[in-house]
Structure 1
Amino acid sequence: MVDRGPAPRRGRPPVSDEQRRRQRLAISRHAVRLFSEQGLAATSGEQIARASGVSERTLWRHFPHKESCVEPLLTKTIDAFRTVLHAWPPDVDLAEHLRSAYQPVLNSPSATDVEAVLAVIRLTHDEPALRAAYLVLRERAEDTLAEVLSARTGVPSDALPVRVEAAAMNAALKVATDDLIHETAESGITPDALLRHREHLADAISFVTRRAPGDGRD
């Protein structure tokens, strides 16, 4: 008998984590555009799926409900802040590091994702369901910041000083983002607006974390 080897795999090849991440982000961008253009209530899952070029089944496999479609874009702001904290040199003041290295949205070569993120946050002011999703992500961000500070300092992430520092940083990021939303409501994103946002965030961080854990100051 001839050994024919294993039977060929049938069906679609498995989706990698990176492919899944990219598809979720693409869906998120289309969902945010539709929410901004026609409102949350008037936007259906079918419309989001059609705009994204996927089936409704695929849409609901990625997201439990349409409001959660905003999460991948909003998460990019948290990832951006976490990434810049990870890269914070031990001998550099955090505010100065933010002025030189911070970008409001991670891995976005254009202002498109920044505009989309700000559009989502604007919508949270009038859409309770989106506001709930935003608040959940902000709470997760606080936990993430505590983990970053813990890794930097060696102090447990659930220690009171680290938790307070993480909460202060999270609040500073929110205030600076709210200022950017207000400034760009009519004029849109400009290089000067992003520069001022970076300065506002650095100033806010400097104000609330004059002695960040592990910053090396006496």
Structure 2
Amino acid sequence: MSSQPSPAPPVRSLTERRKAATQLDIARAAAELFMEYGPDGTTAEDIARRAGVALRTFYRYFRNKQDAVGPLLSAGGDHWRDLLAATEPGTALPEALEKAIEEALSSPDEHAAEGLNLTRALLRAAVDDPALRAVWYRVNQDSEEKLIPVVTRLAGIGADPLEARLAAAVATDAIRVALEAWAETDADVRGPGSPAELAVRCLRQLMGGMRPLLAGSPAGGGRGGGEG
């Protein structure tokens, strides 16, 4: 059966794009201050000042200082889901997941490398900050839920919904565990011990039992479930 083209992403209005840009500016300011002074040494006022916005603007978007880093932590997940959604038709789901994860975490430019290093700093700070850990877990839960329809489409017509949900959970956890493990080290953003290497390793181990079931389901066609 021929694959269906990926639906075009919704076009955001100028107001929505400006809102997202402001949120990301605030998130970066919060992350930088957390790196310099720690969450305990940073206030919402400090973050607003660093981001160049009024305090009321800060609270329009975020409930507290820890919540402010959410857009930065979620940016990577948004990027890799876009890469997965653009996967070439006919690619088996495990390979599609692995390729998208590796490409998203390989840090091809300094901007991406900076984002990973900020994430590492936030994960280190989260060890002693329950509110910051809660933001990290929420971001991953949101990412998993957004991933389910993408995985379902790629798994193909007739794919088992339970397996699609499980694949989304496995892929999300592979990235989460890899980033947490990387944050505990001083490994570079590229090469041995990098997020990309660790995430692919985690994905392969976690999907080991699912691979025989999903490997035969080309993106957009075929059958999933117990066949394979």
User: For 2:49 and 2:73, how far apart are their aligned partners in 1?
Assistant: 22
1:1-218 equivalences under 5 Å are: 16-92=15-91, 93-94=95-96, 97-98=99-100, 101-103=103-105, 109-154=111-156, 159-184=161-186, 189-192=188-191, 196-209=194-207, 210=211, 211-212=213-214, 215-216=217-218, 218=228
- In structure 1, give the amino acid aligned to 2:21: R
Cα offset for 1:29?
Answer: 0.7
User: For 1:99 and 1:33, how far apart are their aligned partners in 2?
Assistant: 26
Extract unaligned runs of 5+ from structure 1: 1-13
Aligned-pair Cα RMSD in Å: 3.0
Largest Rg, 1 or 2: 1
Distance 1:81 1:96, change over 3 A: closer
Extract unaligned runs of 5+ from structure 2: 1-12, 219-223
Tell me if structure 2 keeps the 8 A contact 1:25–1:72: yes
Cα offset for 1:190?
Answer: 4.4
User: For 2:110 and 2:29, how far apart are their aligned partners in 1?
Assistant: 16
Q: Which has the higher contact order (CA 8 A, sep 6+)?
A: 2
Distance 1:143 1:70, change over 3 A: same
* Structure 1 residue ranges, 4+ long, deviating more than 4 angstroms after superposition: 104-108, 154-158
Cα offset for 1:96?
Answer: 5.5
Tell me if structure 2 keeps the 8 A contact 1:88–1:94: yes
Tell me if structure 1 keeps the 8 A contact 2:66–2:135: yes
User: For 2:149 and 2:159, how far apart are their aligned partners in 1?
Assistant: 5
Tell me if structure 2 keeps the 8 A contact 1:31–1:69: yes
- In structure 1, give the amino acid aligned to 2:24: L
Identity within the alignment, %: 27
